[in-house]
């Protein structure tokens, strides 16, 4: 019998029951909730007269619709305030741990899970947010779910889920200077397309993936969903164990040693078979940027928007519609385009390493006059660390301002909206039409690229400035 | 949410011949602040449907009186992006019972099924055929028979089978709900926790 993949091992160890020609009943170790996709789920279980089955396995924080200024004041927007208050009420009533706006652990749900040591190898994790795949960086099976499924987890700590197919994406070799985890994943998605991963769960492997820090691995796994894949994971190793050690909810002392022994077994068997396998050469990856309106429409910054003749027939309408929306022309070069906004933040690139990259680059420089830059840390912990490391001061001297933690302009549910027609370079995960505000135009890139563009005011390959 | 029973639909269809329709187009994030499941239909495809002054855009299909019905026919990769179930609620609340496409994003597919909206995945050729027939005749009747797992173009008689797992099919045919199913397994779930 062929060996098992890491994904199989974790999934199979959590199957409570199987339905013939149907989904598996999958047990969920950790459930994260936020204000936007949970209220209807709480209303659902209460309508049935149920209590939350395992309140200790759920952790809550508000992140999606909260303001990123004056967080100590009452939220001005009535609907947002109501939704955030509803989360507090629901958590209080059901005994769920909540890191509210004033709590030092508050932040974007996918930033706080790892930084608090809640996320651990071998777990199953879900959240009503598609970027739950972030937690796969630790070798856990983590994926986004809808609100009906949030209700299932609250009611039974399980969900019904068909088992996805398995894909392995190998990136071998050494990444060149100026190329970051964000470029790696934008490159992979540009090769797979925005739907190439649909139906699959990805394992990222190879020496280039191994060389990434935990935060880099989170960036890669975070964007798995942008290829259509339900999630992505990376086998845990010493980098993982070192990162977890000493964190708030990580096992301590001999418990930690025991846990590491178990975690070390979490890897794909040599003879395991994947349903699909892709191989990429790290040397071919350069700083990337998107030109269209889905994350699969990425190119090397130094290159051009593809000519129409290079686009597959089935993608042609989508491509033409995208370019029309973006105001770009086929074959145009990316470098030199004037940019209006730079957004550094989100569950993709709002961690301390991301802010460090920006600070290192802009130190002693000034932002361009035509650029409005929003730097939004992913959590209160990141914000605190940025203050302690002097990052806040460096950014302020360069003309940037650090805002308060939240999802912010990634999805523009709060006031952080890119105005209609304006062109933004964002370190977040989606460049859909109007994603950052009605009529806004988004190009996705790495924190280093975003920093370089903030200083020059136009699209530039950061490699030329290093 | 226990859904109404779904067995058989016969309706004209609304053609949305656009690929990669993501959930931010189906329901933009700024409309996700509600705490109930109702009322999302009025903001379905909000930014394609209305201009900045909230006036209907004449060139968008939902504003074209020629096209009516409870079946939405959309281009490849419908529902990509966010996990927001609000997208499925908006489709349902607007009055669609079926979405036909050649490819669906996974999370949207689950969300639709959990809300009594049937995603019907057809071949790229059959999808082209449907778009073609609707273009020729906006009164084209599309039949979706869940029991037989068939989608039929009534006038031409052309048809194709579609896949659905038998558990979900039973749920839709009978209006069953996943949570009812899981609640019956609570002893088994507790035993699983003990064995871990």
* Residues A281 and A363 both lie in one domain: no
* Residues A7 and A90 both lie in one domain: yes
Residues of B in contact with A128 (CB under 8 A): 83, 85
Band of residue B1 on the pLDDT scale cut at 50, 70, 90: low
Cβ separation A156–B185 shorter than 8 A: yes
Question: For position A314, what pLDDT does the model report?
Answer: 78
Question: In this structure, what DSSP letter does residue A186 have?
Answer: H
> Over the stretch B94-107, which tens digit does the pLDDT of each residue have?
999 999 999 999 99
The CATH number assigned to the domain holding A373 equals: 3.30.499.10
Of chain A, the end-to-end C-alpha distance in Å amounts to: 51
Cβ separation A230–B37 shorter than 8 A: no
* Residues A196 and A95 both lie in one domain: yes
Interface membership of B166 toward A (CB under 8 Å): yes
* Residues A88 and A142 both lie in one domain: yes
* Residues A99 and A200 both lie in one domain: yes
Residue A383's contacts (CB-CB under 8 Å, 6 or more residues apart) are A377, A402, A404, A405
From A263, A269, A268, select the one nearest A123 (Cα to Cα).
Answer: A263
Contact A83, A423 (CB under 8 A): no
**Within a domain: A3:** yes
Question: Using CB atoms, which residue from B29, B47, B167 is nearest to A23?
Answer: B167
* Residues A272 and A347 both lie in one domain: no
Closest residue on chain A to B53 (Cα): A438
* Residues A252 and A338 both lie in one domain: no
**Residue A451, domain extent:** 332-465
Read off φ and ψ for residue A96, nearest 5 degrees.
Answer: -100, 135
Residues of B in contact with A144 (CB under 8 A): 82-83, 107
Contact A318, A193 (CB under 8 A): no
From A125, A41, A132, select the one nearest B85 (Cα to Cα).
Answer: A41
pLDDT at B12 over 70: yes
pLDDT at B2 over 90: no
**Within a domain: A302:** no
**Within a domain: A115:** yes
Give the whole-angstrom CA distance, residue B131 versus residue A377: 46
Question: Using CB atoms, which residue from A80, A160, A434 is nearest to B178?
Answer: A160
* Residues A269 and A349 both lie in one domain: no
Contact A450, A342 (CB under 8 A): yes
Tokens of B102: 């050649």
Looking at A228, A263, A286, the residue that finishes a domain is A286
Question: Using CB atoms, which residue from A158, A411, A420 is nearest to B189?
Answer: A158
Band of residue B85 on the pLDDT scale cut at 50, 70, 90: very high
Closest residue on chain A to B85 (Cα): A146
Cβ separation B19–A39 shorter than 8 A: no
* Residues A277 and A358 both lie in one domain: no
Question: Using CB atoms, which residue from B17, B35, B165 is nearest to A86?
Answer: B35
**Coil/strand/helix, residue B123:** coil
Helices A147-156 and B106-113: angle between axes, nearest 10 degrees: 70
- Total structural domains in chain A? 2
Give the whole-angstrom CA distance, residue A118 versus residue B29: 28
Tokens of A252: 């301590």
From B96, B16, B21, B119, select the one nearest B63 (Cα to Cα).
Answer: B16
**Within a domain: A292:** no
pLDDT at B196 over 90: no
Residue B35's contacts (CB-CB under 8 Å, 6 or more residues apart) are A39, A40, A43, A82, A83, A86
Residues of A in contact with B174 (CB under 8 A): none
Q: Exposure string (b/e) for B154-182, b if CB count within 10 Å is 16 or more?
A: eeeeeebebebeebbbebbeeebbbbebb
**Within a domain: A315:** no
* Residues A349 and A456 both lie in one domain: yes
Cβ separation B33–A36 shorter than 8 A: yes
Percent helix, percent strand, percent coil in chain A, to nearest 5: 40, 20, 45
Residues of A in contact with B107 (CB under 8 A): 130, 144-146, 230
**Within a domain: A317:** no
Q: How many CA atoms lie within 13 A of A55 on its CB side?
A: 13
* Residues A139 and A263 both lie in one domain: yes
Tokens of A285: 């990856």
Question: Using CB atoms, which residue from B83, B115, B185 is nearest to A128?
Answer: B83
- A98 forms beta bridges with A60
* Residues A185 and A73 both lie in one domain: yes
Give the whole-angstrom CA distance, residue B172 versus residue B9: 13
Residues of B in contact with A411 (CB under 8 A): 24, 29, 82
Question: In this structure, what DSSP letter does residue B30 have?
Answer: G
Interface membership of B178 toward A (CB under 8 Å): yes
Question: Using CB atoms, which residue from B1, B75, B185 is nearest to A17?
Answer: B185
Residues of B in contact with A412 (CB under 8 A): 29-30
Give the whole-angstrom CA distance, residue B142 versus residue B100: 10
Of chain B, the end-to-end C-alpha distance in Å amounts to: 30
**Within a domain: A296:** no
Read off φ and ψ for residue B72, nearest 5 degrees.
Answer: -100, 130
Give the ipTM.
0.96
Looking at A221, A254, A286, the residue that finishes a domain is A286
Residue B20's contacts (CB-CB under 8 Å, 6 or more residues apart) are A194, A195, A294, A318, B75, B76, B77, B80
**Within a domain: A169:** yes
10-residue mean pLDDT profile of chain A (466 residues): values are: 94 96 96 98 97 98 97 95 98 98 97 98 98 98 97 98 97 98 98 95 98 98 97 98 98 98 98 98 98 97 96 87 97 97 98 98 97 97 98 96 96 96 98 97 98 98 95
Interface membership of A298 toward B (CB under 8 Å): no
Closest residue on chain B to A25 (Cα): B182
Band of residue B144 on the pLDDT scale cut at 50, 70, 90: very high
Give the whole-angstrom CA distance, residue B190 versus residue A367: 57
Question: For position B149, what pLDDT does the model report?
Answer: 98
Q: How far, CA to CA in Å, does B121 sit from each of A148, A325, B100, B155?
A: 22, 28, 6, 21
Contact B8, B54 (CB under 8 A): no
Tokens of B145: 């028979």
Looking at A254, A286, A318, the residue that finishes a domain is A286
CA distance B69 to chain A (A): 25
Question: For position A401, what pLDDT does the model report?
Answer: 85
Mean pLDDT computed over B60-76: 97
> Over the stretch B172-183, which tens digit does the pLDDT of each residue have?
999 998 999 999
């Amino acid at each position: 019998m062929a060996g098992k993949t890491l994904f199989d091992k974790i999934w199979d160890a959590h199957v409570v029951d199987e339905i013939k020609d149907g989904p598996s009943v999958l047990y969920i170790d950790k459930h994260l909730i936020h204000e936007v996709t949970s209220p209807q789920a709480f209303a659902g279980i209460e309508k049935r007269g149920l209590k939350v089955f395992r309140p200790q396995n759920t952790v809550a924080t508000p992140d999606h619709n909260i303001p990123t200024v004056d967080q100590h004041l009452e939220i001005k927007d009535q609907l947002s305030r109501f939704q955030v208050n509803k989360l507090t009420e629901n958590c209080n009533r059901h005994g769920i741990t909540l890191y509210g706006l004033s709590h030092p652990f508050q932040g974007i749900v996918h930033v706080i899970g790892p930084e608090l040591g809640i996320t651990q190898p071998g777990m199953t994790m879900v959240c009503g947010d598609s970027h739950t795949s972030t937690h796969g960086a630790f070798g856990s099976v983590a994926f986004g779910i809808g609100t009906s499924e949030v209700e299932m987890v609250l009611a039974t700590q399980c969900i019904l889920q068909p088992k996805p197919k398995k894909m392995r994406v190998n990136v071998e070799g050494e990444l060149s200077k100026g190329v970051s985890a964000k470029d790696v994943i934008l490159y992979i998605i540009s090769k797979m397309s925005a739907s190439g991963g649909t139906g699959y769960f990805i394992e990222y492997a190879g020496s280039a993936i191994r060389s990434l820090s935990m935060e880099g691995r989170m960036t890669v796994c975070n964007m798995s969903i942008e290829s259509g894949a339900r999630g992505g994971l990376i086998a845990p190793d010493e980098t993982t164990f070192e990162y977890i050690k000493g964190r708030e909810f990580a096992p301590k002392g001999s418990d930690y040693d025991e846990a590491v022994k178990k975690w070390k077994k979490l890897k794909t068997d040599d003879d395991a078979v994947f349903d699909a396998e892709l191989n990429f050469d790290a040397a071919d990856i350069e700083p990337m940027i998107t030109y269209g309106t889905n994350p699969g429409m990425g190119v090397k910054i130094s290159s051009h928007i593809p000519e129409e003749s290079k686009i597959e027939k089935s993608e042609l309408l989508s491509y033409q519609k995208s370019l029309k929306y973006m105001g770009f022309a086929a074959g145009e070069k990316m470098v030199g385009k004037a940019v209006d906004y730079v957004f550094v933040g989100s569950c993709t690139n709002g961690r301390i390493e991301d802010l460090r990259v920006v600070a290192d680059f802009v130190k002693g420089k000034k932002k361009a006059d035509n650029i409005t830059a929003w730097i939004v840390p992913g959590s209160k912990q990141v914000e605190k660390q940025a203050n302690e490391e002097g990052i806040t001061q460096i950014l302020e001297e360069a003309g940037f301002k650090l805002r308060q933690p939240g999802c912010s302009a990634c999805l523009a549910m709060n006031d952080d909206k890119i105005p209609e027609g304006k062109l933004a370079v964002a370190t977040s995960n989606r460049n859909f039409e109007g994603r950052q505000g009605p009529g806004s135009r988004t190009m996705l890139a790495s924190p280093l690229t975003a920093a370089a563009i903030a200083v020059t005011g136009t699209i530039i390959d950061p490699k030329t400035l290093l | 949410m226990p859904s109404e029973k779904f067995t058989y639909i016969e309706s004209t269809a609304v053609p949305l011949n656009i690929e990669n329709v993501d959930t931010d187009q189906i329901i933009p994030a700024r409309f996700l602040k509600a705490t109930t499941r109702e009322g999302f239909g009025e903001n379905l495809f909000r930014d394609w449907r209305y201009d900045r002054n909230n006036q209907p855009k004449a060139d968008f299909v939902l504003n074209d009186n020629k096209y009516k019905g409870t079946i939405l026919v959309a281009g490849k990769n419908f529902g990509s992006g966010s996990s927001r179930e609000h997208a499925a609620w908006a489709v349902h609340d607007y009055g669609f019972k079926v979405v036909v496409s050649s490819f669906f994003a996974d999370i949207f597919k689950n969300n639709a099924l959990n809300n009594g909206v049937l995603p019907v995945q057809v071949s790229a050729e059959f999808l082209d055929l449907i778009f073609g027939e609707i273009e020729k005749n906006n009164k084209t009747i599309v039949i979706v028979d869940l029991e037989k797992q068939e989608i039929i173009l009534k006038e031409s008689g052309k048809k194709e089978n579609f896949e659905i797992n038998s558990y979900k099919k039973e749920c839709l045919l009978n209006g069953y709900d996943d949570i009812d199913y899981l609640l019956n397994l609570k002893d088994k779930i507790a035993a699983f926790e003990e064995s871990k």
